[in-house]
């Protein structure tokens, strides 16, 4: 899609061979071996994706277990119509977004409790960046202020060693969209930093 | 080119992905534009900050162990079998049942529309009859003008409504069984 993207031209030999191995195991019905290859190849990437979507390490780990369990159960149903990564990431996103919705529904309930709301407020204010400038800014808190689809792309981009391709595969969106989101996210983030710095400054 | 047009170039340059042929133009612009120099510096510093601050989370050391344990508990340790094939046929059966239900729903809807039209016509007819019964009786069967409604027009309306109903029902039949389309 983007011939000038240096990342796009990196050969993916390691992934290719693992994928071949996987297909061979699957074709011969050796599901356990296939699954072992798949876990070795995708476990960390699934975890990264889950972390990018869910923003919480613990939940992301739980969901990675859940996702891999589903993949194990679904392995005989996998057909070569989609590449393994497409299939794996689709299942992963499915599980994560379901979890996200479930949590959002629960959060709405608990937020309406004034006592809990007080606690949330005090936690937030105590985490606000203090008197130091520049690098002392709470990057995580600022990231949280970005629109969710921007935050997700920017986090995954840096977690995946700045590869547009990896982010596009993981989120199942076109490469161009990843780039657009990433650039808007960065500009938005710069604005946030400038605002925060001037706030802290004064 | 104005600064706003250089913005995407600045972003690409900060990421190291700006195509070679665009570079001289950008450098020339940077030489004379302090604001874009500042933006580029900010973007580069942002890149460093984000590379530093967004760190890979770590899975627990016993992750795989727990995974296999969970697989043993939930599936009895058995390798996955051809179960998904059964699932495929089940899903297909559900899909086809849904299609049938949908078609039934459409036929029902068409029937309701028919009934409504027919009801309105019959009701209108009955109402006219009731309202103009005295005149009807009075003028007996000199039926041509009747409360402003022309009987042949009314009859034509009935016929058209009925024909539309027949057409809709025929259109809703499976392709092979249609007699008109």
- What's residue B97's pLDDT? 86
Cβ burial A41-63 (10 Å sphere, 16+ → b, else e): bbbbbbbbbbbbbbbeeebbbeb
Residues A50, B63 contacting (CB under 8 angstroms)? no
Quote the CA–CA distance of A64 and A146 in Å, as a whole number. Answer: 25
Q: Give domain status of residue B11, yes or no.
A: yes
Tell the burial category of B156 from Cβ atoms under 10 Å away from its Cβ (0-12, 13-18, 19+).
exposed
Contact B15 A162 (CB under 8 A): yes
Res A129: pLDDT: 41
Residue A124: predicted pLDDT:
40
Per-residue pLDDT reduced to its tens digit, B55-100: 888 999 999 999 999 988 887 766 666 555 666 778 888 888 888 8
Which pLDDT tens digit goes with each residue over A141-192? 888 889 999 999 999 999 998 899 999 999 999 999 999 999 999 999 998 8
Indicate whether A5 belongs to any domain: no
Question: At residue A186, what are phi and psi to the nearest 5 degrees?
Answer: -65, -45
Among the residue ranges A157-171, A187-201, B128-142, the one predicted with the least confidence is B128-142
Q: Are residues A57 and A132 in the same domain?
A: no
Q: Chain-wide mean pLDDT for chain B?
A: 80
A137 within a domain of the structure (yes/no)? yes
Confidence of residue A116 (pLDDT cuts 50, 70, 90): very low
Q: How many domains does chain A have?
A: 2
pLDDT at A121: 43
Overall average pLDDT of the A56-76 stretch: 92
Q: Do B56 and A32 touch (CB under 8 A)?
A: no
- Indicate if A25 and A108 belong to the same structural domain: yes
The shortest C-alpha distance from A113 to chain B (Å) reads: 32
Lowest mean per-residue pLDDT among A61-75, B22-36, B73-87, B101-115 = B73-87
pLDDT bucket at A126, cuts 50 / 70 / 90: very low
Q: Does B65 reside within a domain?
A: no
Q: Quick one: B16 and B97 in the same domain?
A: no
- Binned at pLDDT 50, 70 and 90, residue A134 comes out as very low
* Arithmetic mean of pLDDT, A96-111: 80
**Buried-state track A9-36, b at ≥16 Cβ within 10 A, e below 16:** eeeeeeeeebbebbbebbeeeebeebbe
Q: Quick one: pLDDT at residue A122?
A: 41
Tell me if A73 sits within 8 A of A106, measured CB to CB.
Answer: no
Interface check for B59 against chain A (CB to CB < 8 A): the answer is yes
Decide if B78 is inside a domain.
no
Q: Please, what is the average pLDDT of chain A?
A: 80
Q: What is the pLDDT of residue B140?
A: 56
Residue with the larger pLDDT of the pair B142 and A85: A85
Cα–Cα nearest to A200, from A131, A139, A138: A131
> Are B179 and B170 within 8 A, CB to CB?
yes
Helix (H, G, I), strand (E, B) or coil at B99: helix
Judged by CB atoms closer than 8 Å, whether chains meet at B46 and A186 is answered as yes
* B43/A183 touch (CB, cutoff 8 Å), yes or no: no
CA dist A109 and B148 (Å) reads: 64
Is residue B147 a contact partner of residue B128, using CB atoms and an 8 Å limit?
A: yes
Residues A175 and A5: beta-carbon distance below 8 Å: yes
Q: Supply the range of the domain harboring residue B90.
A: 83-177
B1 or A126, which is more confident: B1
- Residue B95 shares a structural domain with residue B168: yes
* Stretch among A101-110, B48-57, B98-107, B116-125 having the lowest mean pLDDT: A101-110
Q: Which residues make Cβ contacts (< 8 Å) with residue A77, sequence separation at least 6?
A: B84, B85, B87, B88
CA–CA distance from A51 to each of A99, A185, A195 (Å)? 12, 18, 27
Q: What confidence score (pLDDT) does residue A89 get?
A: 95
C-alpha to C-alpha distance for A49 and A53, rounded to whole angstroms: 6
Q: Are residues B161 and B113 in the same domain?
A: yes
Ranges B99-103, B135-139, B142-146: which has the least confidence: B142-146
pLDDT for residue A202? 56
> Which residues 143-172 of chain A have a CB within 8 Å of chain B?
143, 154-155, 158-159, 162
A95 in the same domain as A134: no
Q: List the 4-43 stretch of A: residues with Cβ below 8 A of B.
A: 4-7, 31-32, 39, 43
In this prediction, residue B142 carries a pLDDT of 54
A198: number of Cβ within 10 Å: 9
Instruction: Specify whether A19 is located in the same domain as A75.
Output: yes
Domain co-membership, A66 together with A104: yes
Which pLDDT value is given to residue A10?
A: 47
| In a domain? residue A105 | yes
Q: What is the pLDDT of residue B181?
A: 60
Query: Rounded to 5, what percent of chain A is helix, strand, coil?
Result: 80, 0, 20
Structural domain tally of chain B?
2
**Residue B29 sits in the same domain as residue B101:** no
For A196, the domain range is: 128-202
Distance (Å) from the alpha carbon of A73 to chain B's nearest alpha carbon: 6
Percent of chain A with pLDDT over 90: 45
């Amino acid at each position: 899609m983007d011939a000038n993207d240096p990342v796009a031209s990196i050969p993916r030999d390691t992934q290719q061979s693992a994928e071949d191995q996987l297909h061979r195991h699957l074709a011969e019905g050796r599901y356990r071996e296939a699954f072992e290859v798949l876990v070795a190849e995708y476990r960390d990437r699934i975890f990264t994706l889950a972390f990018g979507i869910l923003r919480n390490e613990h939940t992301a780990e739980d969901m990675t277990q859940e996702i891999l369990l589903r993949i194990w159960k679904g392995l005989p149903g996998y057909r070569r119509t989609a590449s393994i990564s497409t299939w794996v990431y689709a299942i992963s996103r499915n599980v994560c977004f379901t979890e996200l919705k479930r949590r959002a529904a629960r959060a709405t309930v608990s937020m309406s409790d004034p006592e809990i709301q007080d606690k949330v407020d005090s936690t937030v204010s105590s985490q606000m960046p203090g008197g130091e400038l520049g690098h002392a800014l709470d990057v995580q808190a600022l990231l949280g202020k970005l629109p969710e689809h921007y935050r997700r792309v920017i986090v995954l981009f840096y977690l995946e060693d700045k590869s547009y391709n990896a982010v596009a595969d993981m989120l199942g969106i076109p490469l161009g969209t990843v780039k657009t989101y990433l650039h808007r996210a960065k500009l938005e983030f710069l604005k946030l930093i400038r605002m925060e710095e001037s706030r802290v400054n004064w | 080119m104005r600064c706003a047009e250089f913005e995407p170039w600045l972003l690409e340059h900060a990421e190291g992905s700006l195509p070679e042929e665009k570079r001289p133009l950008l450098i020339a612009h940077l030489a004379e534009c302090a604001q874009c120099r500042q933006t580029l510096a900010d973007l580069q510093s942002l890149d460093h900050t984000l590379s530093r601050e967004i760190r890979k989370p770590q899975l627990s050391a016993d992750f795989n162990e727990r995974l296999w344990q969970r697989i043993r508990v939930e599936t009895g340790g058995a390798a996955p079998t051809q179960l998904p094939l059964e699932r495929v046929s089940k899903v297909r059966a559900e899909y086809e049942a849904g299609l049938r239900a949908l078609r039934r729903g459409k036929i029902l809807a068409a029937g309701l529309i028919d009934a409504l039209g027919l009801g309105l016509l019959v009701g209108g007819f009955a109402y006219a009859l009731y309202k103009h019964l005295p005149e009807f009786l009075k003028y007996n069967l000199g039926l041509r003008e009747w409360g402003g409604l022309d009987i042949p027009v009314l009859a034509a309306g009935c016929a058209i409504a009925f024909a539309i109903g027949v057409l809709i029902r025929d259109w809703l039949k499976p392709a092979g069984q249609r007699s008109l389309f």
